[in-house]
Structure 1
Amino acid sequence: MLTNVSLQVIPSVPESKIYPVVDAVIDYIKSTGVAHTVGPMETTMEGDLDALLRIVKRAQEICVEQGAERVCSVVKIDYKPGGVTIDEKVGKYR
């Protein structure tokens, strides 16, 4: 069943390092092969909920590996019986 999970990571790093840390997380998300859309404030993923939550967990670890002393994240989950897709929400705008 498809679920949407949006993730915004806010790493505690000097301002000059924020984008490189966030880019490392986005690169990781891309490497997993899950469907995703990168936005200006968050990345929305589509897939199995358990798999997406593992990605969220790994994203925290990546931030720390990239030098963050702390990571605050905003996670949104859209789950419904029968599944939900990114396309059904924003396809008409593409």
Structure 2
Amino acid sequence: MANALLSIQIIPKTKNGEDVIPFVDEAIAIIDQASVRYEVHPLETTMEGELYELFAIVEKMNERMIELGSPSIISQIKVLYKPDGASMDTLTEKYR
């Protein structure tokens, strides 16, 4: 079982005020390629996995934003770390 949940809102700065949605799409593609469980929400994406693995994904997302031409990125993250197990389902089951 995973030991962490990490929610991220990535906000890349664009050079000339371009739309950030293509950048966000690329960030979500990084998550998808990592093969962790995730859910996309309107203002953030939540991932489920091992803490070290999730932070590595955040690093890759930020690096990709730079590759795409963003001069800087704000990554707002929230982390739930629970060594004996953490899951999105457990936290949200009473609402479904």
Q: Same fold (TM over 0.5)?
A: yes
Q: Which residue of 1 aligns with 2:81?
A: 79
**Alpha-carbon distance between aligned partners in 1 of 2:71 and 2:43, rounded to the nearest angstrom:** 21
Q: Which residue of 2 aligns with 1:35?
A: 37
**Alpha-carbon distance between aligned partners in 1 of 2:94 and 2:30, rounded to the nearest angstrom:** 28
**Alpha-carbon distance between aligned partners in 2 of 1:49 and 1:92, rounded to the nearest angstrom:** 25
Normalised TM-score (structure 2): 0.89
**Alpha-carbon distance between aligned partners in 1 of 2:89 and 2:25, rounded to the nearest angstrom:** 24
1:6-28 CA distance string (max 9 Å, x none): 11110001554300000000011
RMSD: 1.4
| CA contact 2:5–2:46 (8 Å) conserved in 1 | yes
SS in 2 for 1:23: helix
Q: Which runs of 5+ in 2 are unaligned?
A: none
Normalised TM-score (structure 1): 0.90
Q: Which residue of 2 aligns with 1:19?
A: 21
1:37-62 CA distance string (max 9 Å, x none): 11111111000000110001111011
Alignment length (residue pairs): 94
SS in 1 for 2:74: strand
What is the percent sequence identity of the aligned residues? 37
Q: Which residue of 2 aligns with 1:4?
A: 5
